[in-house]
Amino acid sequence: MAHIPDGVLSLPVLAAGTLAGVGGLALGIRRLTDRDIPRTALLAAVFFIASSQAFSLGPTSVHLLLGGLTGLVLGWKAFPAIFVGLLLQTLLFGFGGLTTLGVDLVNMALPGVLLAAVVRPFIRVDRPARSAAFTGGAAALAVVITAVLVGVEIALSEPAFAPALGVMAAAYLPLAGIEAAVTAFVTLYLLKVKPEMIVAPAVLGTAI
Amino acid sequence: MTALLDLSGIRIRRSGRLVLDQVDLQLETGERLALAGANGAGKTTLLRTIVGLETPEAGEIIAFGRHRHDEDDFRDLRLRVGFLFQDSDDQLFAPTVIEDVAFGPLNLGFTPSQAIERAQAVLTDLDLLPLERRVTHHLSGGEKRLVALAGVLAMDPDVLLLDEPTNALDEAHLARLTTILAELPVAMILVSHDAHFLATLSTRAVLLENGRLMPAVAHRHQHRHDHVHFHPIEETD
Amino acid sequence: MTALLDLSGIRIRRSGRLVLDQVDLQLETGERLALAGANGAGKTTLLRTIVGLETPEAGEIIAFGRHRHDEDDFRDLRLRVGFLFQDSDDQLFAPTVIEDVAFGPLNLGFTPSQAIERAQAVLTDLDLLPLERRVTHHLSGGEKRLVALAGVLAMDPDVLLLDEPTNALDEAHLARLTTILAELPVAMILVSHDAHFLATLSTRAVLLENGRLMPAVAHRHQHRHDHVHFHPIEETD
Amino acid sequence: MATDAADAAAPTSRLDRLDTRTRVIVAVALVLTLVSLRSWVLLSAAIVLGLLLTGFAGIPARQTLRRLLHVEGFLLILFVALPLTTRLPPFLEIGPLALSLPGLERAVTLALRITAAALVVLPLISDLTPIRLGHALGRLGLPPRLVQVFLFSIRYIELLRAEARRLHDAMRLRGFAPRTNLHTLKSYGHFIGQLLVRAIERAERVNEAMRCRGFAGRFPLVTLERFGTADVGVAGLTVLLAAAALLLDRL
Ligand SMILES: Nc1ncnc2c1ncn2[C@@H]1O[C@H](COP(=O)(O)OP(=O)(O)OP(=O)(O)O)[C@@H](O)[C@H]1O
Ligand SMILES: Nc1ncnc2c1ncn2[C@@H]1O[C@H](COP(=O)(O)OP(=O)(O)OP(=O)(O)O)[C@@H](O)[C@H]1O
Ligand SMILES: [Mg+2]
Ligand SMILES: [Mg+2]
C-alpha cells in the first residue's frame, strides 16, 4: 500500500517529492564506493523480494517494507538501494508508478535512514537486548512515518481525501508491529554473527 | 519386519531431464547403505525425494510402514529421518552452535531447557562441547560439518541420510567422523565419492547409473599402494 | 630467471585472529606446488592474498617481476593468474555454461564470437561440451566444479591457483582432472585434502601450520592397501 | 553477451523498434499530462488510447487485467472511504454516513486517471527486461554507480531466492512448522538474519570471482539501439497529443 500509483498525486507534490528523492539519491551515491556496490545491490534485492512476498494478516495481506533495516545497514546508501528495488517492482510487478518513483523513494527511504542515524549510537555488541529494542522501535516508527507521509501527500493532492487517511494509517499499525519484531530479532542475530553490518565503527571498536 | 524405507518405481524429472527412472530402494533396520554413482547421477536428488523435497512423477514412498504422499506425511517423516546436506552452510542457520543443535528438539516439542540439555548431550557425544558458544558462521569447514551432524543427531532420528559427509574434511576430521558413524546404531544411507570411506562403513551398496539403481559390490583390488601424509621437512626422518 | 610469484613476510588477520604470520612463498615456472594444511589453517586465505582479495597487514607481493600493491596492480595480475574457488557456487554466475566460460575471454578483449569459440574449445578439452547450453545453477555439484575450472582455463592463465579442485568429483572426473593438470604446462598451486592427488601431481610441497608456511615432503607409507571401486553386481566376476 | 535468463524469456513487442529511452520518456510525459487533466471525456479518451496501445503492443489481456486490479486495489480503500467521509456538502444521508456528490465526482476522476495512466504505461514499459532498462538508464545519464547497483541487484535476486529456498528446506527438514509462538518468531528472525549475512557474503564472493576473471567493475553497456526516425515520430506525436489534451481540457 505504500506504493502510490501514477495519476494520484498532483504536479506540485510530484515535483517536490521528486526533488527530495533526487537529493537523497545524490547523497547516497556520493557515499557509494566500488566495494559498497555488491552490498547495496543485495539489499535492493532483499527489499524487492520482501515486498513481493505478501503474507496474510487477518483479512488483508501485507508485505514487509524493511525501511528501518535497510537504513540501519546502509545509511544514506539506502536511497540508491530502495530506488533500484522500486524500479524493479514497477517494471516486473507494476507496483507503484513511474512518475511517483521519487515520492515513493522518499516515503520509504527517508524515515528509515533518519531513524537509523538516531538509534545507531545506541547499538552495542555488549548490550544486545537494548540494541534490539532500539532498532525494533525505529523500524516500527519508520513504518508509521511512511504511512503518514503517504497520507499527507495524497491529502495535499486531493484535499477531499484527507479524512479517509486516518483509516489508512490505522491499517499500517499491525505491519509496524511485525516489522519491529523482525528487525529486533535480525538485530540480535547480526550482533552475534556480523556486528559490523549494523554497528557504527567507533562503537564497535570500543565494544570488542 | 518390514523395511524402514521402501521406495518403488520412483521417476523424477528435473528441468525436463529424466534423472531417476524406475528406482526401487529398501533400507532395513541397522543397515548402512552406500549409494555410489558418478557426478550428476542423481544421488542428491534421490535423498531429497526420500524426505519429500522433490516430487516424483511416478512411484511410491513407504516409510515406517506408511505411504507418504503429501507435505503432511513428509512433515511427520522428517521428524524421524535426519538429512545432512551436501553443503553445511545451507544447514546451519542459528547464530550459535548450541542454538542450532537445539533447534530440532524445539521443533519436536521439547521445552527450551530440555532442548538445551539434549543439545549438550549430543555435543558431548561428538566431543564438540567446547564449540557450544561459538558462532556457527565462524567455524572452519570441518567444524561446520560436525556441528551440522550434531543438529541432525539431536533429533534422535531412526534413519540418517548423509550427502557427501566427507567433503572438504581434513584427515583428522575424516577419521573422527568415520569413528562416530561406525558407532551409531542407526540405519543410514551414505553418499560419497570416497570409495574407501564407503567401503569401510557400509553393509551393502547400490550404484546409480543412467537413472537406474542397481545392487553393487565394493570391488577391491588388493595391491601395493602408498598412504600419503604431508610432514614438515624438519620432522621427516 | 626470477620466480613467477614471490611473497615475503605476509601477515594477515581475519576478524581479529592472526591467520598468516610471516609467510614466504615462491613459485617458479613449471612448478606444481602442493599447499597442505588442516581445516582452518589458512590455505584459502593465502590464495586469496595472492590475487589481492585479502589485504596483508605486512609483507610484499611480487608477481611477474612487478610489485603489487593496489587494486590496479592486482587487476592486471588477475588476467594472468587463474583462481578456482573452493565453492563453485561462488564462481558460476552467468545463466548458462557457455556464457560463463566465455566471460573471462570477453574481459580479455575477445569479440563475442571469438570468446564463444574459445569457450567451446576449452569445454571440448574437458569433455564438457554436452553441458554447453545447460543452466549453471541446475548442475550437480561435480559438474559445477568442472565448469568453473573451464571458466578459469579459458583465460589461458600463466599461473593456476586451485582451491580443493577435487572436492565433490567422482572417480572418473578425478582421474580426468589429474591427467589434464599433469599435462598443462602452467605453474600451479594445489590445495586439497586428498593427499594422494597432491602427491601424484606436485613437484614440491609446503605445509601451513599455526600461521606459518614450511617446506614439506609427502611422506609415503608403503603398505598393503585396498583400492576400492563400486561395480554393479551383474558385472562382478 | 548482455543476455540474461530474464532477457531470453522476454516476449518481443511491436514497440521493440523504439529506443528504450524513448519509451521511458514518453511514458513519463503522458502520465504527467494525465495528472493535469480534469475532463472525464479526455480521460476516457486516454483510456481508449491506452487500450489501443496495449493491443498494438500485443500484451495479453490477463496481464493487463492483473495490472489494473492491483492499481484499483489502491483506489478501493479511498473510494469506499472518500464519498462517505468527505466534509463536502452531502448528497445522500444514510444514518451517520453522508454520501457527498463532489466527493463521488472526484473519486470518479481519480479512478479514470489512474486507469488511464496504468494503461498508457503498461505497453510502454512492462515488456522491458531489467537488463534493457538498466542499459537505457545508463544511456539516459543516470550515474554509472547507480546503474551498476541496478544491474547487480538483478543478478542477486535469483541468488537470494535460491539461498532462501535452501535455508527453508533445511528448517523444514528439522521439523520446523510455523506456529504462533516465540520460537517461530525467533526462528524467522534467525532465518532473515542468516539470509542477509549469507547473501551479502555470497554477493561479495561472487563479485570477487568476477574480478578474478578480469572483470573491471563495469558491465559493458553495449546496445544495438539507436534513436531513429520512429523515435522522432513517436516523440513528436506525444508532444502534439499532450498539448492538444491540455488545451482541450482548459476549454
Ligand atoms: N536445482 C536443479 N534444477 C534442475 N536440475 C538439477 C538441479 N540440481 C541438479 N539437477 C540435475 O539433476 C541431475 C542429478 O543431480 P544430483 O545433484 O542429484 O546429482 P548427484 O548424483 O548428487 O551428483 P554430485 O555427485 O555431482 O553431487 C544432474 O544432471 C543435475 O544437472
Ligand atoms: N570470511 C571470514 N571472516 C573471518 N574469518 C574467516 C573468514 N573465512 C575464514 N576465516 C578464518 O580464517 C582462518 C583460515 O581460514 P581459511 O578458509 O583460509 O582456512 P583453510 O585452510 O582454507 O581451511 P579449509 O581446509 O577448511 O578450507 C580460519 O580460522 C577461519 O575461521
Ligand atoms: Mg550431490
Ligand atoms: Mg579453504
pLDDT, tens only, B155-178: 999 999 999 998 878 888 888 889
pLDDT of residue D220: 55
3-class SS string, C152-190: HHCCCCCEEEEECCCCCCCHHHHHHHHHHHHHCCCEEEE
User: How far is B37 from B211, CA to CA, in rounded Å?
Assistant: 10
Higher pLDDT, D171 or D104: D171
Which residue does chain D place closest to B52, by CA atoms?
A: D173
Residue boundaries of the structural domains of chain D: 15-129+225-250
Ligand 1 binding pocket mutation candidate from B10, B11, B14 (most atoms within 8 A of CB): B14
The share of chain B scoring above pLDDT 90, in percent, equals 57
pLDDT of residue A89: 85
- Is some CB atom of chain A closer than 8 A to the CB atom of B95? yes
Q: Which residues of A touch D197 (CB under 8 A)?
A: 189-190, 193-194, 197
Q: Which of D69-73, D99-103, D178-182 has the weakest average pLDDT?
A: D99-103
The model's pLDDT over B193-222, given as tens digits with 9 standing for 90+, comes to 888 888 889 999 999 999 999 998 876 654
Contact C170 B39 (CB under 8 A): yes
C224: confidence class by pLDDT, cuts 50, 70, 90: very low
Residue A2 lies in a domain: no
User: How far is C103 from C119, CA to CA, in rounded Å?
Assistant: 9
Q: Which residues of B touch C34 (CB under 8 A)?
A: 230
The model's pLDDT over A25-36, given as tens digits with 9 standing for 90+, comes to 999 999 988 778
Calculate Rg over the CA atoms of chain C: 19
Residue A196 lies in a domain: yes
Ligand nearest to the CA of D200: 2
Q: ipTM, 2 decimals?
A: 0.78
User: How far is C184 from C189, CA to CA, in rounded Å?
Assistant: 13
Q: Considering CB atoms only, which of B82, B89, B106 is closest to D183? A: B106
Which residue does chain A place closest to B138, by CA atoms?
A: A193
Contact B78 D173 (CB under 8 A): yes
Sign of the dihedral through C-alpha A130, A135, A136, A142: positive
User: How far is D204 from A34, CA to CA, in rounded Å?
Assistant: 11
**Pocket flag, ligand 2, residue C192 (CB < 6 Å):** no
The answer on pLDDT for C98 being more than 50 is: yes
C206: confidence class by pLDDT, cuts 50, 70, 90: very high
pLDDT of residue C87: 84
The model's pLDDT over A140-150, given as tens digits with 9 standing for 90+, comes to 999 999 988 98
**Pocket flag, ligand 1, residue B151 (CB < 6 Å):** no
Residue A3 lies in a domain: no
Higher pLDDT, A96 or C142: C142
Residue A120 lies in a domain: yes
Contact B75 D177 (CB under 8 A): yes
For the record, the C-alpha cell of D112 comes out as 479514470
A9: confidence class by pLDDT, cuts 50, 70, 90: confident
For the record, the C-alpha cell of A62 comes out as 501485507
The model's pLDDT over D122-132, given as tens digits with 9 standing for 90+, comes to 888 877 777 77
Residue A112 lies in a domain: yes
Residue A129 lies in a domain: yes
- Is some CB atom of chain D closer than 8 A to the CB atom of C70? no
Which residue does chain B place closest to A194, by CA atoms?
A: B137
Is residue B173 classed as helix, strand or coil in its secondary structure?
helix
Q: Which residues of C touch D212 (CB under 8 A)?
A: 51, 53, 78, 81-83, 85
Identify the H or E element spanning D56: helix D40-57
User: How far is C76 from C14, CA to CA, in rounded Å?
Assistant: 25
Q: What is the CATH number of the domain that holds A15?
A: 1.10.1760.20
Stretch A92-116: mean pLDDT, rounded?
A: 88
Q: Which of B13, B226, B235 to mutate to probe the C interface, most C CBs <10 Å? A: B226
pTM: 0.80
Angle (CA) C197-D209-C90 rounded to 5° is 75
The share of chain D scoring above pLDDT 70, in percent, equals 76
- In total, how many domains does chain A have? 1
**Per-residue b/e over B155-165, b at no fewer than 16 CB within 10 Å?**
bebbbbbbbbb
Residue A138 lies in a domain: yes
pLDDT of residue D3: 36
The answer on pLDDT for C170 being more than 80 is: yes
Sole residue written with cell 528487525: A183
Q: Where in the sequence is the domain holding A127, given as residue range(s)?
A: 11-207
Angle (CA) C40-C44-C45 rounded to 5° is 90
DSSP assignment letter at B138: G
Q: How many Cβ atoms sit within 10 Å of the Cβ of residue A113?
A: 25
Is residue D97 classed as helix, strand or coil in its secondary structure?
strand
B213 class by beta-carbon count within 10 Å (0-12 exposed, 13-18 middle, 19+ buried) = buried
Q: How many Cβ atoms sit within 10 Å of the Cβ of residue B149?
A: 25
Calculate Rg over the CA atoms of chain D: 24
Q: Which residues of A touch B137 (CB under 8 A)?
A: 193-194
For the record, the C-alpha cell of B102 comes out as 537445539
pLDDT of residue C151: 92
The answer on pLDDT for B223 being more than 50 is: no
Ligand nearest to the CA of D158: 1
Q: Which residues of B touch D191 (CB under 8 A)?
A: 93
Beta bridge partners of A145: none
Closest alpha carbon to C179 in C191, C161, C165? C165
**Pocket flag, ligand 1, residue B154 (CB < 6 Å):** no
Amino acid making up residue B34: A
Average pLDDT along chain D? 76
The answer on pLDDT for D9 being more than 50 is: no
Identify the H or E element spanning B74: helix B71-78
C15 class by beta-carbon count within 10 Å (0-12 exposed, 13-18 middle, 19+ buried) = exposed
Q: Which of C26-40, C104-118, D95-109 has the weakest average pLDDT?
A: D95-109
The answer on pLDDT for D88 being more than 60 is: no
Stretch B66-85: mean pLDDT, rounded?
A: 91
Ligand nearest to the CA of C168: 1
**Per-residue b/e over C114-153, b at no fewer than 16 CB within 10 Å?**
ebbebbbebbeebebeebbebebeebbbbbbbbbbbbbbb
